């Protein structure tokens, strides 16, 4: 089968989808800081806490992903009668989009919380607070009645199963009786309860546990998927980490998509993103192949983010632009970057901007980019084009083409988008992107920094980064000639 790239029309159509999400509603809690010493009381690291974040988890994260993509997500489940459960409405509202929460408050079941303690970029320990027993009769009736009332409005039903007890046999039966395509993100080992689903989205470990067949090789995975298809009657979308994902259907050849090449920062919630995009695509009327390809693209984006996160339409369009643009590898057209920046603004993310020739990348450049990334949530780097560099540095520069410089810059941790500008200054790019933080080396005074007045006028700030002594592209090139 021919692998067609997702197109902009398909991304836009995601906003037309409506999904009913039923399942285990959770909250993800991140406690982050710096580890610089070991406790005297026990051989454990001490975290000097600098940040705490609360985000939707489980079924709530699926809803957040759908809403972030512009779709409607109606969330149905059970939470505790506690302050953390009360926080969920505000958390979900921050992602925009539309939808309702029908969440029963059960005083006998605390809201499930997963707390991850992070030392720098590394997870040190996870603490779970939860009750895994099945729902009581009152809560179960609330969910089954809600499915009957809400399913007819939805284009698809997403069952988010984290084995916390919400998806009882009665809840599953109500979902399959609703007459809508059902997508299941599975956790239980016995998949006979999923019979009637249209699609199931396991990872390799979950498929192996359900079938008793290891998924170490392509052949093993295919055998396990065939067994799962026979048991459930559903198509199987197997996520395979660095090997990408594969769609298995009865009577058809496997449809394989390689992983999108990018640095993996955090896989927390990536399965939720895949399930959300596939469900939204099917609800919006997209073919299953197109929905799977969009989900694969989204997965490549979300694993490059910190913690449980969502994917925005402009991020999908940016990936699409990269795939379709022959030149400027690593760089985005300014209009695509501006759309990306607008989506980040709607998600209340602080956007930084740095610019320069970045001809031969050296420790001074790395120091500046690191400081810039730490000062914002998303960082855009603007590179002088080859013609611009020649005008500024002379006819023998740049040492590397704009395509090469863009590709290297886009690969750096902390850089979320790269653009190329042909003018002598980045003023046009700054006006189009309206950054919240403007970053430049401390060898410039603030009144010399192009765009400083624009950024400060809208409430942003200018960050001047101290230079690394002895680091200069001109000096490096001179030493080599």
> Hey, which residues are catalytic here?
272
Q: What is the C-alpha to C-alpha distance for residues 56 and 361, in angstroms, rounded to an integer?
A: 38
Kind plus residue range of the DSSP H or E element containing 32: strand 25-38
Angle among Cα 160, 268, 261 to the nearest 5 degrees reads 110
Q: What phi, psi does 114 have (nearest 5°)?
A: -110, 115
Upstream peptide bond of 398 is cis (omega within 30 degrees of 0): yes
Please give the radius of gyration of the chain, using alpha carbons only, rounded to the nearest integer.
Answer: 24
Phi, psi of 130 (to 5 degrees): -165, 170
Cross-strand pairs, 364? none
User: What are the CA-CA distances from residue 411 to residues 29, 222, 304, 408 (Å)?
Assistant: 29, 33, 11, 5
Phi-psi region of 29 (alpha: psi -120 to 50; beta: other; left: phi over 0): beta
- The sign one gets for the Cα dihedral 222, 228, 231, 236 is negative
**How many Cβ atoms from other residues are within 10 Å of residue 148's Cβ?**
12
Count of Cβ atoms closer than 10 Å to residue 249 Cβ: 16
């Amino acid at each position: 089968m021919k692998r067609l790239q997702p197109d902009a029309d398909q991304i836009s159509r995601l906003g037309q989808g409506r999904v009913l999400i039923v399942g285990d509603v959770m909250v993800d809690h991140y406690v982050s800081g710096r580890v610089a010493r070991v406790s005297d009381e026990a051989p454990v690291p001490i975290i000097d806490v600098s940040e705490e974040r609360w985000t939707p988890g489980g079924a709530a994260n699926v809803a957040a992903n759908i809403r972030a993509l512009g779709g409607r997500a109606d969330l149905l489940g059970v939470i505790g009668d506690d302050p953390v459960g009360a926080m969920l409405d505000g958390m979900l509202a921050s992602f925009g989009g539309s939808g309702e929460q029908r969440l029963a408050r059960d005083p006998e079941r605390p809201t499930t919380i997963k707390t991850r303690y992070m030392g720098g970029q590394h997870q040190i320990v996870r603490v779970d607070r939860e009750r895994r027993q099945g729902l009581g009769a009152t809560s179960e009736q609330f969910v089954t009645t809600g499915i009957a009332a809400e399913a007819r409005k939805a284009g698809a039903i997403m069952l988010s199963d984290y084995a916390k007890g919400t998806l009882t046999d009665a809840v599953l039966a109500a979902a399959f009786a609703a007459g809508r395509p059902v997508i299941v993100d599975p956790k239980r080992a016995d998949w006979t309860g999923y019979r009637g689903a249209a699609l199931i989205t396991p990872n390799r470990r979950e498929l192996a546990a359900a079938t008793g067949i290891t998924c170490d090789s392509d052949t093993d995975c295919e055998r396990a998927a065939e067994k799962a298809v026979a048991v459930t009657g559903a198509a199987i979308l197997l996520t395979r980490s660095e090997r990408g994902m594969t769609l298995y259907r009865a009577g058809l050849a496997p449809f394989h998509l390689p992983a999108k090449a990018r640095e993996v920062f955090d896989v927390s919630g990536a399965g939720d993103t895949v399930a959300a995009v596939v469900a939204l695509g099917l609800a919006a009327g997209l073919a299953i192949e197109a929905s799977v390809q969009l989900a694969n693209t989204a997965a490549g984006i979300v694993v490059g983010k910190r913690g449980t996160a969502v994917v925005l339409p402009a991020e999908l369009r940016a990936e699409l632009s990269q795939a379709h643009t022959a030149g400027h590898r690593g760089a985005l057209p300014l209009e695509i970057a501006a759309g990306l920046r607008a989506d980040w603004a709607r998600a209340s993310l602080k956007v930084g901007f740095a610019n320069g020739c970045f001809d031969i990348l050296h420790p001074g450049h790395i120091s500046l980019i690191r400081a810039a990334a730490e000062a914002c949530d998303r960082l855009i780097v603007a590179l002088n084009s080859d013609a611009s560099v020649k005008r500024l540095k002379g006819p023998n520069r740049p040492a590397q083409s704009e395509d090469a410089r863009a590709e290297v810059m886009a690969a750096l941790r902390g850089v979320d988008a790269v653009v190329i500008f042909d003018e002598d200054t980045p003023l046009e790019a700054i006006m189009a992107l309206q950054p919240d933080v403007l970053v430049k080396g401390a060898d410039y005074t603030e009144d010399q920094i192009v765009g400083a007045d624009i950024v400060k006028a809208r409430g942003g700030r200018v960050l001047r980064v101290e230079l690394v002594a002895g680091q200069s592209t001109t000096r490096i090139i001179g030493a080599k000639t």
